[in-house]
C-alpha cells in the first residue's frame, strides 16, 4: 500500500487558453500565460492498494463517478506498467466548476499524487504534460508564480515552463464572487463551440500568441499599466469571441458588468486596477498590493453582498506528509 498527498494551487490566465487543436490529449491552439494563486487550491490523496478491485474518487467527501477522473487514472496506470487500483480523495479549497479554475488545481494535484502513488517519479515538466491531459489550465498549475504553457503540437512538446516562480512584485488578484454556483457552459464545451464556429477565431490565436512576449516584458519592467492593460484586453477578446460563436453565449452576468464598470471608474479616479474573467461570471481584479485595500473598500461600498477573496502569487505543486 502506498499513500501520496499533493497540493496544487489554481492559476489565473492573463493570456488565456481558449480552444484546442487536439481534444483527446489536450493540445491548445495558442500559448497561454498565468499567475498561480495562493488562496485557491486542491488537496488530493491517492492510495494505491493491491487489494482494491477498482478505482474510486471522492470530491469534498462525496463519491463521484467521474469518467474524466477514471480515464485519467487509466492513463497513469498504463504509464506506470502496474495493474493495481487507487482510491482518490480530493478536497477543493475553491468553488467547483464556477470559473475559479478548480479544474486547474484539481488535475495538477491528481497528476502529482496519482503518478507517485503508481510508483512513477516524474519531472515537473512531465507532471505538467500529465496534468494537461486532465484539464488544459492544470498544465500551468505545476509551477508557482508566472508560468507559460508552450502550446506545441504533440504530447511531448506541449508543457508548462516557469517564467518567474518567485514573483518579485506585490501583485494581488481579488476575486469578486458574483456567483459561485456551477456554470451552465463548461470551459470545455464553450471553447470548442468557439473553435468550431467563430469567424474570428484565427485572429484570436495570432493576437494571444503575440501578447505573450509583451506581457513578459511588462513584468520584467515592472510596468503595471502595460501588464494590466494587456491582461484586461486579452480577457475581453476571449469573451467577445463567445458572442461571435454559433450558438453565441456569454459568461457575463449583470453584476459582472457593474463590477467591471466600477473598476473603470476607479481608474478614472487615479487608482490602478484591471479586470479579467474566465469561464464564469466572477470578476478577477488585478492590482498592486498598495492599492488592494482601497479597491476592496470601494467595491464593498458599492456591492456589499459580494464576497471578495484576495490572492497573492502562489506556489507550485507540493507533496504533503
Ligand atoms: P472550473 O472553472 O472550476 O475550472 P471547469 O468546467 O473547467 O470549471 O472544470 C470543472 C471540472 O473539473 C468538473 O468536471 C469537475 O468535476 C472537475 N473537478 C473539479 N474539482 C476536481 C477535483 N478536485 N478532482 C477532480 N476533478 C475535479
Ligand atoms: C477561460 O482548462 O478548464 O480559464 O482543458 O477543457 O479542462 P479544459 O478547460 P479549462 O479551460 C480554462 C479556460 C480559461 C482560460 C485559461 O485558464 O487559460
Ligand atoms: Co477549468
As for the ipTM of the complex, it is 0.98
Q: Is the pLDDT of residue 109 over 90?
A: yes
Q: So what's the pLDDT on residue 100? A: 87
Q: For the domain that residue 111 is a member of, what is the CATH number?
A: 3.30.230.10
- CA–centroid distance, 16 to ligand 2, in Å, is 8
Last residue of a domain, one of 167, 194, 209: 167
Q: Are residues 121 and 162 in the same domain?
A: yes
Residue 66 preceded by cis peptide, ω within 30: no
Q: So what's the pLDDT on residue 70? A: 98
Q: So what's the pLDDT on residue 95? A: 87
Q: Who's near 319: CB < 8 A, 6+ residues apart? A: 4, 5, 6, 112, 113, 116
Asked whether 160 lines ligand 2 (CB < 6 A), one says: no
Flag whether 292 is in a domain.
yes
Helix pair angle (224-243, 187-197), 10° resolution: 70
Asked whether 105 lines ligand 2 (CB < 6 A), one says: no
Residue range 219-275, pLDDT digits in tens? 999 999 999 999 999 999 999 999 999 999 999 999 999 999 999 999 999 999 999
Flag whether 317 is in a domain.
no
Query: Mean pLDDT across the stretch 91-109?
Result: 92
- Determine which residue's CA is closest to atom 3 belonging to ligand 1: 97
Of 22-31, 141-150, 153-162, 180-189, minimum mean pLDDT range:
180-189
Flag whether 318 is in a domain.
no
Three-class secondary structure assignment of the chain = CEEEEEEEEEEEEEECCCCEEECCCCEECCCEEEEEEEEEEEEEEEEEECCCCCCEEEECCEECCCHHHHHHHHHHHHHHCCCCEEEEEEEEECCCCCCCCHHHHHHHHHHHHHHHHCCCCCCHHHHHHHHHHHCHHHHHHHCCCEEEEECCCCCCCCEEEEEECCCCCCEEEEEEECCCCCCCCCHHHHHHHHHHHCCCHHHHHHHHHHHHHHHHHHHHCCCHHHHHHHHHHHHHHHHHHHHCCCCCCCCCCHHHHHHHHHHHHHHHCCCCCEEEECCCCCEEEEEEHHHHHHHHHHHHHHCCCCEEEEECECCCCEEEC
User: What's the pLDDT band for 315 if we cut at 50, 70, 90?
Assistant: very high
Q: Are residues 178 and 257 in the same domain?
A: yes
| Residues with a CB atom less than 6 Å from ligand 1 | 42, 59, 66, 68-69, 90, 92, 96-103, 106, 110, 135, 186-187, 279-280
Nearest to 134 by CA among 161, 156, 114: 114
- CA–centroid distance, 109 to ligand 1, in Å, is 12
Q: Are residues 94 and 143 in the same domain?
A: yes
Asked whether 135 lines ligand 2 (CB < 6 A), one says: yes
Q: Is the pLDDT of residue 96 over 90?
A: no
Q: Which ligand 2 atom sits nearest the alpha carbon of residue 137?
A: 2
Asked whether 266 lines ligand 2 (CB < 6 A), one says: no
User: What's the pLDDT band for 183 if we cut at 50, 70, 90?
Assistant: confident
Task: Count structural domains, the chain.
Answer: 2
Q: Are residues 227 and 123 in the same domain?
A: no
Q: Are residues 88 and 197 in the same domain?
A: no
Q: Are residues 228 and 117 in the same domain?
A: no
Q: For the domain that residue 285 is a member of, what is the CATH number?
A: 3.30.70.890
- CA–centroid distance, 18 to ligand 2, in Å, is 7
Using a CB cutoff of 5 Å, list residues around ligand 3, an ion: 103, 187
Q: Are residues 196 and 90 in the same domain?
A: no
Q: Are residues 161 and 204 in the same domain?
A: no
Q: Provide the residue range defining the domain that includes 243.
A: 173-311
Last residue of a domain, one of 111, 144, 167: 167
Burial (CB count within 10 angstroms: exposed 0-12, middle 13-18, buried 19+), residue 33: buried
Residue range 271-296, pLDDT digits in tens? 999 999 999 999 999 999 999 999 99
Q: Are residues 48 and 107 in the same domain?
A: yes
Last residue of a domain, one of 120, 140, 167: 167
Query: Mean pLDDT across the stretch 50-68?
Result: 97
Q: Is the pLDDT of residue 98 over 80?
A: no
Q: Is the pLDDT of residue 7 over 90?
A: yes
Pocket-testing residue among 102, 139, 175, ligand 1, by greatest number of atoms within 8 A of Cβ: 102
Q: Are residues 149 and 202 in the same domain?
A: no
Q: So what's the pLDDT on residue 75? A: 98
Flag whether 320 is in a domain.
no
Q: So what's the pLDDT on residue 112? A: 98
Q: So what's the pLDDT on residue 142? A: 98
Q: So what's the pLDDT on residue 181? A: 87
Asked whether 237 lines ligand 2 (CB < 6 A), one says: no
Q: Are residues 26 and 102 in the same domain?
A: yes
Q: What is the mean pLDDT of the chain?
A: 97
Flag whether 196 is in a domain.
yes
Nearest to 111 by CA among 82, 96, 132, 137: 132
Flag whether 117 is in a domain.
yes
Flag whether 129 is in a domain.
yes
Query: Cα–Cα distance between 318 and 175 in angstroms, integer?
Result: 24
Q: Are residues 8 and 44 in the same domain?
A: yes
Amino acid at each position: 500500500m502506498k499513500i501520496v498527498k499533493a497540493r496544487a494551487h489554481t492559476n489565473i490566465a492573463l493570456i488565456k487558453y481558449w480552444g484546442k487543436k487536439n481534444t483527446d490529449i489536450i493540445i491548445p491552439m495558442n500559448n497561454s500565460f498565468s499567475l498561480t494563486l495562493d488562496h485557491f487550491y486542491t488537496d488530493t490523496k491517492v492510495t494505491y492498494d493491491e487489494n482494491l478491485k477498482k478505482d474510486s474518487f471522492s470530491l469534498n467527501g462525496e463519491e463521484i463517478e467521474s469518467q474524466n477522473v477514471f480515464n485519467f487514472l487509466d492513463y497513469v496506470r498504463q504509464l506506470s506498467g502496474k495493474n493495481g487500483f487507487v482510491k482518490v480523495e480530493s478536497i477543493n479549497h475553491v468553488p467547483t466548476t464556477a470559473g475559479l479554475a478548480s479544474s486547474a488545481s484539481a488535475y495538477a494535484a491528481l497528476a502529482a499524487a496519482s503518478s507517485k502513488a503508481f510508483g512513477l517519479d516524474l519531472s515537473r515538466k512531465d507532471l505538467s504534460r500529465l496534468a494537461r491531459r486532465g484539464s488544459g489550465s492544470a498544465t500551468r498549475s505545476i509551477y508557482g508564480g508566472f508560468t507559460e504553457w508552450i502550446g506545441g503540437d504533440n504530447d511531448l512538446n506541449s508543457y508548462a515552463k516557469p517564467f518567474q516562480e518567485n514573483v518579485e512584485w506585490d501583485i494581488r488578484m481579488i476575486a469578486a464572487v458574483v456567483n459561485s454556483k456551477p456554470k451552465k457552459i463548461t470551459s470545455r464545451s464553450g471553447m470548442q463551440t468557439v473553435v468550431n464556429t467563430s469567424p474570428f477565431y484565427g485572429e484570436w490565436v495570432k493576437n494571444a500568441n503575440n501578447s505573450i512576449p509583451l506581457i513578459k516584458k511588462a513584468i520584467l519592467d515592472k510596468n503595471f499599466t502595460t501588464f494590466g492593460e494587456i491582461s484586461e484586453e486579452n480577457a475581453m477578446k476571449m469573451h467577445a469571441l463567445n458572442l461571435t460563436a454559433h450558438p453565441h453565449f456569454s459568461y457575463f452576468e449583470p453584476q459582472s458588468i457593474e463590477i467591471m464598470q466600477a473598476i473603470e471608474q476607479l481608474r478614472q479616479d487615479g487608482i490602478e486596477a484591471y479586470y479579467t474573467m474566465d469561464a464564469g461570471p466572477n470578476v478577477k481584479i488585478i492590482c498592486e498590493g498598495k492599492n488592494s485595500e482601497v479597491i476592496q473598500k470601494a467595491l464593498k461600498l458599492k456591492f456589499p453582498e459580494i464576497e471578495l477573496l484576495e490572492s497573492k502569487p502562489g506556489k507550485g505543486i507540493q507533496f504533503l506528509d
